[in-house]
Amino acid sequence: MYKWEKSAQLLQENERWISGGIVSLNRKSEPNICFNTGRGSRVFDVDGNEYIDYQAGFAASFLGHNDADVNEAVAKTLTNNSVLMGAGPTTLEGEFAQLFCQCVPTVESIQITTTGSEATYHAIRIARAVTKRDHIIVIQGGYNGWHNDVSCNVISALDDIGERVSPGEYPYDSSSAGVPSSHSSLVHIINYNDLESVKYVLKRYEIAAIILEPILQNIGIVKPQEGYLEGLRSLADAHGFLLIFDEVKTGFRHALGGYQSICKIQPDLSTFGKAVANGYPLGVIGGKRKYMDYFAHPDKKERVLIAGTFNAFPLTTAAAIATLKKLSSPAADVYGHVFKLGAILEEGLNDIFKSTGRPYYVARQGSAFCTYFMDHAPVDFHDILNNHDFKYDNQYRRKLIEQGIFNFPLPIKQGSISYAHTENDIAITLEKTKNVVASI
Ligand SMILES: Cc1ncc(COP(=O)(O)O)c(C=O)c1O
């Protein structure tokens, strides 16, 4: 039986000095486990427990924890005394940018930030500067960061957002106090996979952009229906707003060229983070040059400000270069490996749940997965709120953790397989899952 006495003690101690006891309070969960080491597919907590990890630092650690090649690049940069100068260009940022644009050919130029939230912030700002419009559309159940434009309806309860309205828009249920109402009135929230709602909003407001995860991966794995992303592209072209793909989660995890290379839709701007530097903090905003060049617009009144003392921090940038090189390596065959493991896991989970008589649906895209306790693939967040068995999901996750399989203990959170996982890890996971399902 797993115990978390030291973890609980640590939380209590930290509460004296950290508001809420934990940095970034979306990490707070039940149980609250304090992890102190990660190696490959495994993480270890302060109580000495070991887990096969599918949380992967909120999907950032795609190669696995403490990847040797990434660590080596970081160590080399450290010993080469690459320092943060904050003046002039650097060879590291140039090397990374070139590599990035080669990996994601739909992106013509980039800027580098420290987090995904900064990248989405800048993408929206560019869209407003380009279109000279203020209103934006975001997606119910999507997550695009913490800032005023997008910190809305983050896994909100049905009571807060209300039943489905279609076509239509939903109230901005801010996940943060302190967002000015003048700001939230500019943000229109609609359901995913619902083009009619986009048209509804377009009739009423001058829209600068729609920002969305091309697959909703902050409420599991909700895939675009046929024609949806194409429809958004056509509407953007017809109405002159920018289509922004937030690929912070989908980028690099599903393909070197981002999910846009799979769905073959070119957004105007895209944002990346997480897997791009295998757990080191780096965000990217990239896209069509005519839009990206607003950062360097010759007319000062048109220019979009981008700044950040730590942008393209040398150690982080070195980690990102090493990550992209490994992801591009045919010898490493990262994608072949993780997709194979994903398929084995999906098949095994289907076999286990088939015999329970319980409604379920195993959703997967490559190495990312989520088991829903409902009888069909979810179409949008309302579909999940109305049909998913949240109580069972909670129990399921808790019991898996007690068996040494770590998925974040919050219903509908997506799991991530890394390159460091092995077929044996998946076999152990399935065995433990079988026990857990039998015990609930
Ligand atoms: C799709 C998506 N966009 C943006 C972000 C924000 O990135 P960050 O946490 O690096 O600010 C996240 C984080 O989970 C995300 O999942």
pLDDT confidence of residue 379: 98
Report d(CA 89, CA 94) in Å as an integer.
8
141 lines ligand 1 (CB under 6 A): no
Q: Is the C-beta atom of 314 inside 6 A of ligand 1?
A: no
pLDDT of 283: 98
Q: Kindly tell me if the per-residue pLDDT of 153 is higher than 90.
A: no
pLDDT single digits (tens) 86-101? 999 999 999 999 999 9
Q: Which residue is listed with tokens 């590291």?
A: 92
Kindly provide the b/e burial profile for residues 345-360, where b requires at least 16 CB atoms within 10 angstroms of the residue's own CB: beebbeebbeeeeeeb
CATH 3.90.1150.10 maps onto the chain at: 5-66+333-439
Distance of CA 13 from the midpoint of ligand 1 (Å): 28
Is the predicted pLDDT of residue 131 greater than 90, yes or no?
yes
- Kind and range of the H or E run holding 33: none
Mean pLDDT, residues 44-55: 98
Spatial separation of the C-alpha atoms in residues 149 and 152, rounded to whole Å: 8
Q: 12, 393 in Cβ contact below 8 A?
A: no
Rounded average pLDDT over 348-366: 96
Provide the residue type at 171 as one letter: P
CATH 3.40.640.10 residue spans of the chain: 69-327
Ligand 1 pocket check for 213: Cβ under 6 Å:
yes
How far apart are alpha carbons 172 and 378 in whole angstroms? 22
Dump pLDDT digits (tens) for 269-288.
999 999 999 999 999 999 99
User: What are the φ and ψ backbone dihedral angles of 52, each rounded to 5 degrees?
Assistant: -80, 125
pLDDT of residue 1 exceeding 80, the answer is: no
Q: Per CATH, which fold does 69-327 belong to?
A: Aspartate Aminotransferase; domain 2 (3.40.640)
Tell me, using a 6 A CB cutoff, whether residue 247 lines ligand 1: no
The CATH architecture annotation of domain 5-66+333-439 reads Alpha-Beta Complex (3.90)
- What does residue 181 show for φ and ψ, rounded to 5 degrees? -65, -30
